[in-house]
Structure 1
Amino acid sequence: MAFSTITNLDVSAAQQHSRELITRLHASESTTYVTGPAGTGNGERVLVLGGTGYIGRALVPELARRGYRPVVLARKAETKNEPEYADAEIVVGDATRAADVLNAVAAAPTDVVISLLSGRKPNDAEECREVDHEAVVNGIKAAVAHDVKQFIQISDFGAYRPELIPQVYKLQVEGELMGQHHGALPWTIVRPTAYFPYLSATFGDVKNGLAYRIFDHGEYNVVNPIAREDLAEFIVNQVLNQDSFGRVLPVGGPWTPDNTVTLKGAGQMMFDVTGRDPQWEVVTMKTWDKKIARLTRLGKVSKQLKPVAFYLEAAKYWSVVDHVAPVYGERTLREFMGKLKDREFPTGSFRERMKNGTNVMPTDI
């Protein structure tokens, strides 16, 4: 199925594909990875770039629990006062400044650098370039310069089929690591499928009585998202693990009905958790394609409309491309949504909240 225009034939074929894929996954056992902590450290210094984000708040404590010495490059010294960083060394700096990253690596012998860097506004092309590529390369160059033993790049499952700006830059970083463009450096690449907040971005809308939007039947793709706690444990399992050197590791959450979903399945889960009868806002993909085409044309003459066109492309991408990977962990999307049930959510259109980038996601759980 091409990403551009979807025909009526594609609509029915995609729905059948998704249903058959979910049936196979639910009947299968994923044996690629063994869930559970594997390996402990002995005080090795591990620098985490992007460690103050959603995944970092789980990864940094996990590193400390497993005997490593986590170091976080953060813009604010006050980060040290947050509970997740009680056992971490905080180096004040900005990953987009090469000198700051170099200083963080050079401050003491550093064994591993882990990059969680990802732009907060994936529809901002310049921010994606600065964060998803340039800042990561700063980390790679600093690691090479100081003989770091391993660079772990947390990439994106979408790198298998890069359609969006961040994915293209992440794939470029992967190629530069593999090709040793910046010097010899042992590397490991992790490609997670998706995180729970991304599939729960409209939970507040559903709880506030609004409809849940789907394209056509809402069953174009399948995803098995992974919990940040499980991903953090998986990442630490790879630290200084010789078996993970030079490998690309796709990873997702459980292949169970509570975690393997289509877009419509995620919406149904929200209605189940909130106790509401399903209310769907059905948008035809043909209509959405026309909006994308029109805004893309207008975006060539309007800087304000170009990011909106990209947002529409992104919404379509996450609605039609499968993100299914080998299983690690036991936490599920339904469990995550259950924790959101008693929370209060702001009102306002999704377009208005989209301007804040990933800040619209319920990432504090």
Structure 2
Amino acid sequence: MTIDETSGSEWRSTTHAPWPVHGPLMGEEVHYPKRVLLLGATGTIGMATARSLVQRGHQVVCLLRPRRSDQHLQANASPPESLAGVKVMWGDASDPEVWTQPSFTGAGFDAVVSCMASRTGSPQDAWRVDHQAHVWALQAAQTAGVRHFVQLSAICVQKPLLAFQHAKLAFEKTLIESGMTYSIVRPTAFFKSLSGQLERVKKGKPFLIFGDGQLTACKPISDDDLADFLVGCLDDVSRHNQILPIGGPGPAITPLAQGEHLFALLGMPPRFKRVPVGLMDAIVGVLSVLGKIIPAAADKAELARIGRYYATESMLVWDAQAQRYDEQATPSHGSQTLLDAYARWVKGEGAPDRGEHAVF
């Protein structure tokens, strides 16, 4: 594992760097550049976070795991174009040996920011990435004297029913009990998670909703706004040692309202296809039985459970006492709304790559 030395001049340790990112005003907190290790930088949120870190003057190293088709990148030690302005450390975060290499232990990081998450949500992948890889990263960070760990989690861990939720919660507990300064960020729905029906609607197909389309609501947040919030945790002491739910601007929106807005933007009469939740239950049941015999079916059953969860649970702050989701208690951040994004996508400016965020 090596750190790319081709993407900038030698860095000075931030411990001895007295220069602010911007000049302070009277009473304003002075922000200093930090040396930051970013995990999960190849995802869309990770890339947005890398951009935000660089824009704020932080010195950024991204731990990247080369795909088999990208082995030449490791040899050339050159970061992808999407990560301009950062240095690269090549290695797999789920390999404990990565965290013992001098290129990490001797780098003098001030903070770790993790946007890393399991790609599939399967139990094995979730416990390997969402939990174990993070535990190794945290232990190594403590040994190396890192002072702050910013963790991207998920708001759905409030009501954990799925393997990846339990894995995330297990690491959250480990981080909180570690004694290190932490910021645990639990975002609501992502724009990319809500972009999947654009093409089917444009083709004249109905918008799929579960039940009446008002079973759930969310305050979706864009990648850039979420990245801004994550990076802001480094300097905002009010976000230290806190669990931070965060959504985007504006009121909560239901799937029914999402569909109505899309049809309006396209100048088409609204058409909806209602999918009964019971159908999802039947699919989960059948796959769960098959999963006892066929391992691949077990993974599909977990994916179906994930789909059912998001079809029936709102991505808002959960009021345990009142047993309801609370829109007013869900903080907002940023300026980009999902409806603004829909308008851009309808104009052909491109919907995000959903990857494993696709549900249907």
Correspondent of 2:90 among 89, 92, 96? 92
Q: Does the residue aligned with 1:113 lie in a helix, a strand or coil?
A: strand
Aligned residues: 309
> Offset of 1:240 from its aligned partner?
4.2
The answer to which structure, 1 or 2, has the higher relative contact order (CA under 8 A, 6+ apart) is 1
Distance 1:79 1:219 in 2: 49
Q: Does the residue aligned with 1:55 lie in a helix, a strand or coil?
A: helix
Report if the CA contact (8 A) 1:204-1:344 is conserved: no
Find the counterpart in structure 1 of residue 255 from structure 2: 263
What are the ranges of 5 or more consecutive residues in structure 1 without an aligned counterpart? 1-37, 347-352
Per-residue displacement from partner, 1:168-198 (whole Å, max 9, x unpaired)?
Answer: 1111100111222xxx322111100111000
Find the counterpart in structure 1 of residue 207 from structure 2: 212
Deviates more, 1:278-287 or 1:57-66: 278-287
Per-residue displacement from partner, 1:98-152 (whole Å, max 9, x unpaired)?
Answer: 2224435324110000111111112x22111211111111211111111101011
1:126–1:340 distance in 2 versus 1, CA, 3 Å: same
Correspondent of 1:72 among 46, 62, 66? 62
What are the ranges of 5 or more consecutive residues in structure 2 without an aligned counterpart? 1-27, 67-72, 317-329
Distance 2:288 2:31 in 1: 50
Distance 1:73 1:277 in 2: 47
> Offset of 1:52 from its aligned partner?
1.6
Report if the CA contact (8 A) 2:344-2:350 is conserved: no
> Offset of 1:249 from its aligned partner?
0.6
Q: Does the residue aligned with 2:37 lie in a helix, a strand or coil?
A: strand
User: 2:310 matched to 1:318?
Assistant: yes
Distance 2:44 2:30 in 1: 23
Distance 1:192 1:62 in 2: 17
TM, length-normalised to structure 1: 0.78
- Which letter does structure 2 place at the counterpart of 1:174? E
Distance 2:36 2:79 in 1: 20
Find the counterpart in structure 2 of residue 154 from structure 1: 152
Correspondent of 1:52 among 42, 46, 71? 42
Distance 1:203 1:273 in 2: 11
> Offset of 1:345 from its aligned partner?
9.1
Deviates more, 1:301-310 or 1:140-149: 301-310
- Which letter does structure 1 place at the counterpart of 2:240? F
Find the counterpart in structure 2 of residue 42 from structure 1: 32
Deviates more, 1:311-320 or 1:286-295: 286-295
Correspondent of 1:331 among 304, 319, 336? 336
Q: Does the residue aligned with 2:93 lie in a helix, a strand or coil?
A: coil
Find the counterpart in structure 2 of residue 233 from structure 1: 228
Report if the CA contact (8 A) 1:41-1:66 is conserved: no
> Offset of 1:201 from its aligned partner?
2.0
1:345-360 to structure 2, matched below 5 A, reads: 357-358=356-357, 360=358
Distance 1:238 1:94 in 2: 25
Find the counterpart in structure 1 of residue 116 from structure 2: 117
Report if the CA contact (8 A) 2:116-2:129 is conserved: yes
Deviates more, 1:299-308 or 1:50-59: 299-308
- Which letter does structure 2 place at the counterpart of 1:157? I
1:58–1:106 distance in 2 versus 1, CA, 3 Å: same
1:96–1:219 distance in 2 versus 1, CA, 3 Å: same
> Offset of 1:95 from its aligned partner?
1.1
Per-residue displacement from partner, 1:270-302 (whole Å, max 9, x unpaired)?
Answer: 222333322222122223323322322222222
TM, length-normalised to structure 2: 0.79
Find the counterpart in structure 2 of residue 26 from structure 1: none
User: 2:244 matched to 1:252?
Assistant: no
> Offset of 1:80 from its aligned partner?
4.4
Distance 1:315 1:277 in 2: 27
User: 2:297 matched to 1:302?
Assistant: no
User: 2:53 matched to 1:63?
Assistant: yes
1:81–1:298 distance in 2 versus 1, CA, 3 Å: closer
> Offset of 1:39 from its aligned partner?
6.4
Distance 1:86 1:163 in 2: 39
Find the counterpart in structure 2 of residue 33 from structure 1: none
Task: Name the % identity.
Answer: 28
Report if the CA contact (8 A) 1:94-1:101 is conserved: no
Please provide the CA RMSD for this pair.
2.5
1:82–1:202 distance in 2 versus 1, CA, 3 Å: same
1:40–1:297 distance in 2 versus 1, CA, 3 Å: farther
1:61–1:160 distance in 2 versus 1, CA, 3 Å: same
Distance 2:79 2:89 in 1: 13
Find the counterpart in structure 2 of residue 173 from structure 1: 171
